């Protein structure tokens, strides 16, 4: 009998909640032979990264995952063997009763936010609250041994490396998106929240002696791009050139295509959680726009990651990365930080690949979850 898993995803805002749970659900089915139901309260957010989703349907199969709309009126549902509440979402009360009624109570876990902070290792796997005899556990993704690891499908890094060595495949992929970048151009992607530092960064890219082609998937940063370009109604497919900088607006694509986009680029600006991890798997230098939290606690998370990520860099390269990331996240001087960063480009490129391969040596999140369940039973 396959183990039955229920994953609950409440879309708070943006795409990280559904992005993470959709990847996890598919991987549990494809690699661990689990029977997975994915409960999503906002199918429209899901549709952006998985266009074949029918937003009208209460139930549908997508890539072997039993996708359910999580309705306001909860239907009578038997609880699964493993229950994942993603990002501390509250389960339907009737479902919690169903968990407690099972002869053998399910394994109930909260899949938490990703953080590189030290305390994560100590808290991963600890018991949390109890509901009528059903114990909930903390599951913390992370970068260090002893955490829940990162989402990484089997063979991902090999696929990525093969793609990066195949100039034809890359060119065809980019052309499919309408991207025709001249050879020798620095290709970059930009996925970020609104950011006041963008204008000074674009200024310096436009004035650079080296050509840059910047690919911007449609989203929250477009307003800032539009203001800098001094145009109106910036939309998918638009291409504008200012000095050495070409800016192109791309559609929001399927997750697999977004991965390939990151693999094609020499530098990726990413945000949130899932794109941040995917940029690391791309093995290329990156810039993280972290999701802002109350009382600036996100800045502690940023520092914790920077500390870990830059550990093996020379002091000067480390300072350059730290300065750029802090400028991007706290309205600092992007122009100066970018120029300094460029001085360390070869080191940063080699480091990005090394970091990726080192992280790839750790067990991936889905495998750690399944192992946690097997140990628990």
Residues forming the active site: 17, 273
- Shortest distance, CB of residue 13 to ligand TRH, whole angstroms? 5
Whether 201 contacts 338, CB under 8 Å: yes
Smallest CA-to-CA distance from 121 within 152, 138, 87, 144 is with 144
Beta bridge pairs of residue 240:
247
- Shortest distance, CB of residue 214 to ligand TRH, whole angstroms? 14
Residue with the shortest CB distance to ligand TRH: 16
- Shortest distance, CB of residue 186 to ligand TRH, whole angstroms? 19
- Shortest distance, CB of residue 240 to ligand TRH, whole angstroms? 19
Which CB atom, from 66 or from 274, has the smaller least distance to ligand TRH? Answer: 274
3-state secondary structure of 273: coil
Which CB atom, from 271 or from 344, has the smaller least distance to ligand TRH? Answer: 271
Q: In this structure, are strands 4-9 and 35-40 parallel, antiparallel, or unpaired?
A: parallel
Smallest CA-to-CA distance from 371 within 18, 31, 13, 142 is with 31
Beta bridge pairs of residue 188:
214, 267
3-state secondary structure of 70: coil
Residues 6+ apart with CB under 8 A from 27: 151, 153, 364, 366
b/e 110-142 (16+ beta carbons within 10 angstroms → b): bbbbbbbbeebeebbbeeeeeeeebebbbbbbb
Which CB atom, from 110 or from 275, has the smaller least distance to ligand TRH? Answer: 275
Token pair of 297, please?
């606690």
- Shortest distance, CB of residue 10 to ligand TRH, whole angstroms? 10
Which CB atom, from 197 or from 217, has the smaller least distance to ligand TRH? Answer: 217
d(CA 326, CA 333): 9
- Shortest distance, CB of residue 49 to ligand TRH, whole angstroms? 4
Residues near ligand TRH (CB under 6 A) are 12-17, 19, 49, 113, 191, 217, 252-253, 255, 258, 271-276, 291
Q: Which residue has the tokens 């980019």?
A: 174
Alpha-helical (H) ranges within the chain are 16-32, 43-49, 93-101, 119-123, 156-164, 167-176, 198-207, 222-229, 255-264, 274-281, 297-309, 315-329, 334-342, 345-359, 365-376
3-state secondary structure of 215: strand
Which CB atom, from 105 or from 226, has the smaller least distance to ligand TRH? Answer: 226
Which CB atom, from 253 or from 327, has the smaller least distance to ligand TRH? Answer: 253
Distances (CA, A) of 197 to 53, 324, 326, 332, 341: 36, 10, 11, 7, 16
Which CB atom, from 152 or from 318, has the smaller least distance to ligand TRH? Answer: 152
- Shortest distance, CB of residue 100 to ligand TRH, whole angstroms? 29
């Amino acid at each position: 009998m396959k183990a039955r898993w229920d994953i609950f995803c409440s879309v708070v805002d943006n795409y990280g909640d559904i992005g993470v749970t959709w990847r996890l659900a598919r991987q549990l089915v494809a690699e661990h032979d689990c029977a997975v139901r994915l409960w999503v309260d906002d199918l429209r957010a899901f549709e952006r990264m998985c266009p074949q989703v029918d937003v009208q349907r209460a139930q549908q199969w997508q890539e072997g995952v039993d996708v359910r709309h999580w309705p306001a009126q909860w239907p009578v549902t038997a609880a699964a063997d493993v229950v994942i509440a993603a990002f501390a979402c509250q389960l339907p009360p009737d479902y919690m009763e169903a968990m407690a009624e099972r002869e053998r109570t399910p394994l109930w876990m909260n899949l938490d936010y990703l953080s590189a902070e030290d305390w994560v290792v100590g808290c991963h796997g600890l018991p949390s609250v109890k509901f009528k005899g059903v114990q909930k556990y903390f599951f913390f993704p992370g970068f260090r041994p002893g955490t829940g690891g990162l989402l990484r499908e089997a063979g991902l890094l090999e696929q990525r490396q093969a793609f990066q060595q195949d100039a034809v495949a890359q060119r065809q992929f980019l052309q499919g998106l309408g991207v025709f970048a001249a050879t020798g151009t620095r290709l970059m992607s930009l996925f970020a929240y609104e950011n006041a530092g963008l204008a000074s960064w674009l200024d310096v890219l436009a004035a650079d002696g080296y050509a840059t082609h910047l690919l911007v998937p449609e989203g929250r940063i477009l307003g800032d791009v539009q203001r800098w370009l001094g145009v109106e109604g910036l939309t998918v497919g638009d291409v504008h050139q200012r000095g050495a900088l070409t800016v192109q607006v791309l559609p929001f694509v399927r997750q697999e295509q977004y991965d390939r986009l990151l693999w094609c680029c020499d530098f990726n600006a990413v945000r949130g959680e899932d794109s941040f991890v995917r940029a690391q798997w791309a093995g290329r230098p990156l810039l993280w726009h972290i999701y802002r939290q109350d009382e600036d606690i996100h800045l502690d998370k940023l520092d914790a990651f920077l500390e870990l990520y830059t550990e093996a860099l020379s002091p000067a390269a480390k300072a350059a990365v730290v300065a750029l990331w802090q400028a991007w996240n706290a309205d600092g001087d992007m122009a100066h930080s970018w120029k300094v960063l460029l001085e360390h480009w070869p080191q940063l490129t080699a480091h990005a690949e090394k970091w990726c391969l080192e992280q790839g040596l750790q067990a991936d999140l889905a495998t750690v979850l399944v192992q946690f369940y097997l140990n628990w039973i």
